[in-house]
């Protein structure tokens, strides 16, 4: 089965946790550890988490990954 990949990013707020939780509730799986970095231009911490998901169809670049 093909697998697709997304990198979720957001400021370090509850919005990031909600974004990851929503992806998990739609069948995405965590891939690796989360990352954190300071965005000096905005003065905020940023978070990133990779997720993957097996899909029934072949991957194509026009796919809307967030809708899978």
Q: What tens-digit pLDDT sequence spans the chain (68 residues)?
A: 889 999 999 999 999 999 999 999 999 999 999 999 999 999 999 999 999 999 988 887 888 877 77
Rounded to whole angstroms, the Cα distance separating 43 from 37 reads 11
Res 39: pLDDT? 96
Residue located via tokens 């300071």: 38
pLDDT of residue 56: 86
Q: For the full predicted model, state whether its pTM sits above 0.85.
A: yes
Give domain status of residue 19, yes or no. Answer: yes
Two tokens at 25?
């509730």
Domain count along the chain: 1
Domain that holds residue 42: 3-59
- Domain presence at residue 67: no
In a domain, residue 66? The reply is no
């Amino acid at each position: 089965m093909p697998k697709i990949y997304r990198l979720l990013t957001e400021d370090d707020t509850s919005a990031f946790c909600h974004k990851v939780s929503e992806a998990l509730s739609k069948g995405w799986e965590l891939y690796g550890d989360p990352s954190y970095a300071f965005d000096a231009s905005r003065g905020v911490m940023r978070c990133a988490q990779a997720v993957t998901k097996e899909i029934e169809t072949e991957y194509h670049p026009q796919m809307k990954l967030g809708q899978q």
